[in-house]
Chain A
Amino acid sequence: MATNIEQLTKTASQVRRDILRMVHACQSGHPGGSLGCTDFLVALYFDIMNHRTDFSMDGNGEDLFFLSNGHISPVFYSVLARSGYFDVTELATFRKLNSRLQGHPTTHEHLPGVRMASGSLGQGLSVAIGGALTKKLNGDASLVFSLHGDGEIQEGQIWEAAMYASANKVDNLIATIDVNGQQIDGSTEQVLSLGNLKAKWEAFGWDVLEMNGNDMTDVIRGLNLAKTKTSKGRPVLILMQTEMGNGVDFMMHSHKWHGIAPNDEQLANALGQLEETLGDY
């Protein structure tokens, strides 16, 4: 199927609306990083990945995705629903009592599309490596994708996993870091500088690519290029530049919207900037 950038961009607009409405409805959650990673997740689920929406935990014969920075659950849930894993009306239950859409993703409530709980940071790369190793053992040529926050890589386990993946040639894995330069207490530069990310990951033996995570054309280019780099003896890393809060003017250029919800007026303002393309849930 040919990639339709226009259609993907329209889907992303709807997903951004979903994110804002979900977070607004429960007055909690993490809109900033969700908005920044919307184009990436839409590209993955609507174009790049070979996946089935009749969900099976084992995922044999299909590509897998692991969200390691689980706090951007709104974008994950919206993309799963919009691609058919469950009904979009369920998005209205986000973060509410008795919901399958927990504040952070979990397998515990059996939400189709989620294969691993995440929220406590730094664990998803190891999990993705495990998924990739099992695919190799099973002779399954599908790929494993993962997404991580840039602040998240301050966790030590990420670097244990980084070392393991290259030493053991886990080359059916494409990990992406959302480089938005922001974390709860401020910029990553202020909180704990990440240094030269490209040099660090290359020193750890990864094949490192870069892309603009808020330009759908570049996201598709970057992910397709990453796929060509698999099966060559090295794990693949994408440094994805994004803008936290992308798509809503007053949410960009700040860490302020990492973990707070818009009020009624702010929601109206934000929705006015995003076309309703697929119908609100």
Chain B
Amino acid sequence: MKKYTYTEKKDTRSGFGAGLLEASKKNKDVVALCADLTGSLKMDAFQKEFPERFFQVGIAEANMIGIAAGMTIGGKIPFTGTFANFSTGRVYDQIRQSVAYSDKNVKICASHAGITLGEDGATHQILEDIGLMKMLPGMTVINPCDYNQTKAATLAIAEHEGPVYLRFGRPTVPVFTDPDQKFEIGKAWMVNEGTDVSIFATGHLVWKAIEAGEKLAEMGINAEIINIHTIKPLDEKAILTSVAKTGCVVSAEEHNRIGGLGDSIAQVLAQHLPSPQEYVAVNDSFGESGTPDQLMEKYGLSSDAIVKAVQKVLARKKAGN
């Protein structure tokens, strides 16, 4: 198992804030809109540096999406910022008609995704957003795993033409990816090469997968770990190449098991390479209040849960089912 270490923990939303500022310095057409959550989205540095390019829309997310869509006409590259719940479910039709169907170059940037939003509870913890967004034709869906990857992804989507959903989170998590990485949309990252099982992880679950990989290595199981940061377009080649080698799959995500990364992988495998697959995901339920760590444990999004899923899928592989 390749060794990964970290010296600090940071929130992925701060990676977004840093990436937004840097992208804006590179490109004067980058503008940002926020629905009364500037501090939470870490957009305050941008606001301070480029006040004339920052648009505070108030608590009016539908209007924010519409304004962003309109701002693309004339060449601006709008980044909208609010919580993931209000970035997707609340404004689904606005995104569908004014952004996706209208082919507008809007970057929908969503913080506090998943249950790690924590104490505010289920009203604010969306676990359906990846599914909602990936179903929209033409929408790119990205869920980076740490501060550095989120910053790199933010820079990459500024240069990408087309609508993007960028999903990140609230809690501080280990920073373990390269600070100077080049983020390639739609290209999976090989975290660890292995032969026994393919673990495909996204977002906060990537570090959990690394922890699980170390535990599995001690048990003599050689796990291949791949980070699928781009859920759409999906890197089908990386998935099929890996599963052709390992013969079984565990998917891991901070999302409902219905409609998330796991389902995207299952669809590819069903068509091209039917293989045993286990899901590490929230089991079709809402979240609740609690600390991020407590919630990840309770809802089965821990490294131990990944280890158990691997053991189960290996048994299925061995039994031929």
Contacts and interface: CB of A to CB of B under 8 A. Distances in A.
A108 interface: yes
A116 interface: yes
A140 B31 CA distance: 17
**Among B52, B68, B70, B101: residue with most chain A CB under 10 A:** B70
Contacts of B69: 116, 126-127, 130
19 contacts: A59-B73, A60-B74, A107-B103, A116-B70, A123-B93, A126-B64, A126-B69, A129-B70, A130-B67, A130-B70, A130-B73, A130-B78, A131-B70, A133-B71, A134-B70, A137-B31, A160-B62, A160-B63, A163-B58
Contacts of A133: 55, 67, 70-71
Instruction: Identify the 6 closest CB pairs spanning chains A and B, nearest first.
Output: A130-B70, A126-B66, A134-B74, A160-B63, A160-B60, A127-B70
Contacts of B58: 160, 163-164
Given A108-B103, A126-B62, A156-B62, A135 B70 contact: no
B98 A116 contact: yes
B13 interface: no
Interface residues of B, number: 31
Given A118-B97, A127-B98, A164-B58, A137 B70 contact: no
B173 interface: no
A168 B53 CA distance: 13
A190 interface: no
B97 to A, nearest CB: 5
B65 interface: yes
A275 B60 CA distance: 47
A137 B74 CA distance: 9
Given A108-B103, A160-B60, A134 B73 contact: yes
A278 interface: no
B94 interface: yes
A57 interface: yes
Contact of A126 (B67, B76, B96): B67
A220 interface: no
Contacts of A107: 101-103
B246 to A, nearest CB: 40
A58 interface: yes
Nearest to B75: A58
A123 B66 contact: yes
Interface string B129-147: 0000000000000000000
A161 B62 CA distance: 9
Contacts of A127: 66-67, 69-70, 98
A133 B72 CA distance: 10
Interface in B95-130: 96-98, 101-103
A128 B62 contact: no
Contacts of B238: none
B301 to A, nearest CB: 35
A125 interface: yes
Contacts of B37: none
A123 B75 contact: no
A157 B66 contact: yes
Nearest to B78: A130
Contacts of B78: 130
A187 B75 CA distance: 41
A64 B53 CA distance: 21
Nearest to B59: A160
Nearest to A60: B74
B57 interface: yes
Interface in A1-42: none
B52 A64 contact: no
Contacts of B98: 116-117, 123, 126-127
B97 A123 contact: yes
Contact of A106 (B62, B76, B102): B102
Interface in B222-239: none
Given A130-B73, A137-B31, A120 B93 contact: yes
**Among A115, A160, A163: residue with most chain B CB under 10 A:** A160
Contact of A117 (B65, B72, B97): B97
Contacts of A135: 74
A59 B74 contact: yes
Interface in B42-93: 52-53, 55, 57-58, 60, 62-76, 78, 93
A133 to B, nearest CB: 6
Contacts of B52: 137
Interface string A236-268: 000000000000000000000000000000000
